[in-house]
């Protein structure tokens, strides 16, 4: 993962150094606005002001980079999660020591340039010592502020890494759950079709042969696509044709299918076996009779959705459901897509609206 956080971004670090530079002068002025150095500060020669600012900017740069360097080095040896108190004590001490050394360095450069003759900057040793102390206090505040940002940066980065690890583990759990859902098959489907097949073989061998062919196509489809998350609607409809062949010869004229899906929608995708589960669900919960056949209609809409609709002909004694059906489809869509199926039921019909997935 790319560690593009605040202190790892060069542009933002430069902006922070400039901010520290401005803060250095602001806090110094607030602490002692009547200091002699402020009286004639902007009336000095421009070269003197530029050198003054350059030394201060160098100081802020050294304090910032040193604080970041100390933090990065300590991350390798003393982790915040293991020994936070010890880490805080050591990092604070090293930062204070670094500030003092950097202060002495820049003060030496400052003194070397100005010497002791510039009375506009330093009138006596007392004023000089007070100014040095103020500068040191302000420098320490800035160093501690940089350290705090560095610590926050480190903790946020580690929190992100842990979040990524957790997300990866959750994804593995989701994939395992999805795989188990795809492999769920209603055992009644197998037994019912084997029973019909045995009867057809005795009555009509040709029809029995065609029934066995379509039965094998169904299980071939299940085996080939059992490891896939989604499949094209075109392939799902081809599979449904074989499935409807079995239904028609198992139920007879007690069910009527109407499939109206355009070519554009057939290119979209959905979880495999979705249509089979919905058709099987309709057959489980409704009567099928020759006088009043169960109408099952499958059609698409203009907004990339597929609707599986059946008339409501409730059976008198509902069968025990295996819990696969619609719950299976909803759970798979929660794992695969932002959109979920919608269920609409009224007095005459039952609709399941399936969002089609664009690859």
Predicted confidence (pLDDT) per residue in 293-329, tens digit: 999 999 999 999 999 999 999 887 766 655 556 877 8
| Residue 139 pLDDT exceeds 90 | no
Mean pLDDT of all residues in 29-38: 71
> 3-state class of 291 per DSSP?
coil
pTM of the model: 0.50
3-state helix, strand, coil in the chain (%, to 5): 65, 10, 20
Read off the pLDDT of residues 223-281 as tens digits, 9 standing for 90 and up.
787 667 889 999 999 999 998 998 888 888 899 999 999 999 999 999 888 898 899 88
Would you state the pLDDT for residue 194?
80
Would you state the pLDDT for residue 349?
93
Residue 325 near residue 281, CB atoms below 8 Å: yes
- The lowest-confidence range among 114-118, 129-133, 164-168, 202-206 is 114-118
- The lowest-confidence range among 33-42, 126-135, 332-341 is 126-135
Would you state the pLDDT for residue 234?
95
d(CA 97, CA 82): 24
Would you state the pLDDT for residue 123?
42
Residue 335 near residue 177, CB atoms below 8 Å: yes
CA–chain centroid gap for 343, Å, is 28
Would you state the pLDDT for residue 324?
59
Q: CATH code for 188-355?
A: 3.30.565
Q: φ and ψ at 323, to 5 degrees?
A: 80, 10
Q: Nearest Cα to 297, choosing from 336, 224, 244?
A: 244
Q: How confident is the model at residue 121 (pLDDT cuts 50, 70, 90)?
A: very low
Read off the pLDDT of residues 225-235 as tens digits, 9 standing for 90 and up.
766 788 999 99
- Higher pLDDT among residues 209 and 8, named by residue: 209
| Residue 44 pLDDT exceeds 90 | no
Residue that the structure tokens 């098959």 belong to: 185
Task: Tell me the β-bridge partners of 336.
Answer: none
- Higher pLDDT among residues 350 and 113, named by residue: 350
- Higher pLDDT among residues 37 and 88, named by residue: 88
d(CA 281, CA 296): 11
Most confident of 24-38, 146-160, 245-259: 245-259
User: Domains of the chain: which residue ranges?
Assistant: 6-180, 188-355
Q: Nearest Cα to 186, choosing from 288, 328, 353?
A: 328
Residue 322 near residue 283, CB atoms below 8 Å: no
> 3-state class of 111 per DSSP?
helix
Token pair of 148, please?
């705090």
Q: Give one word for 304, left, alpha or beta, with left for phi > 0 and alpha for psi -120 to 50.
A: left
Cβ neighbour number for residue 140 with a 10 Å cutoff: 16
Q: φ and ψ at 256, to 5 degrees?
A: -130, 130
Would you state the pLDDT for residue 12?
67
CA–chain centroid gap for 283, Å, is 40
Q: φ and ψ at 287, to 5 degrees?
A: -75, 150
Token pair of 291, please?
């006088």
d(CA 278, CA 308): 7
Would you state the pLDDT for residue 178?
54
CA dihedral 272, 276, 277, 278 (to 10 degrees): 110
């Amino acid at each position: 993962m790319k560690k593009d956080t605040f202190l790892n971004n060069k542009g933002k670090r430069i902006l922070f150094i400039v901010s520290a530079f401005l803060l250095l002068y602001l806090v110094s002025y607030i602490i002692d606005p009547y200091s002699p150095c402020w009286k004639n500060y902007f009336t000095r020669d421009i070269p003197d002001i530029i050198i003054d600012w350059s030394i201060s900017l160098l100081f802020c740069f050294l304090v910032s980079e040193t604080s970041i360097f100390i933090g990065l080095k300590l991350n390798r040896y003393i982790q915040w999660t293991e020994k936070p108190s010890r880490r805080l004590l050591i990092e604070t001490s090293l930062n204070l020591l670094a500030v003092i050394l950097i202060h002495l360095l820049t003060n030496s450069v400052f003194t070397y340039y100005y010497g002791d003759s510039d009375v506009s900057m330093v009138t006596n040793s007392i004023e000089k010592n007070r100014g040095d102390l103020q500068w040191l206090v302000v420098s320490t505040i800035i160093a501690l502020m940089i350290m705090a940002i560095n610590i926050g940066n480190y903790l946020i980065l580690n929190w992100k890494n842990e979040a990524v690890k957790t997300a990866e583990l959750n994804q593995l759990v989701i994939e395992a759950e999805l795989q188990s859902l795809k492999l769920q098959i209603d055992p009644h489907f197998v037994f019912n079709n084997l029973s019909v097949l045995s009867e057809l073989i005795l009555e009509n061998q040709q029809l029995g042969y065609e029934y066995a062919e379509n039965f094998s196509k169904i299980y071939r489809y299940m085996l080939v696509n059992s490891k896939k998350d989604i499949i094209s609607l075109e392939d799902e409809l081809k599979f449904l044709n074989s499935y409807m062949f079995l239904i028609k010869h198992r139920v007879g004229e007690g069910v009527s299918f109407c499939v109206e899906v355009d070519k554009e929608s057939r290119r979209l995708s959905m979880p495999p076996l979705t249509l089979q589960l919905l058709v099987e669900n309709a057959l489980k919960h409704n009567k099928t009779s020759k006088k009043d056949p169960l109408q099952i209609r499958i059609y698409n809409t203009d907004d990339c959705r597929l609707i599986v609709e059946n008339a409501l002909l409730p059976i008198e004694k509902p069968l025990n459901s295996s819990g696969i059906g619609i719950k299976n489809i909803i759970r798979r869509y929660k794992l695969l897509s932002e959109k979920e199926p919608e269920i609409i039921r009224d007095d005459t019909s039952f609709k399941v609206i399936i969002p089609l997935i664009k690859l």
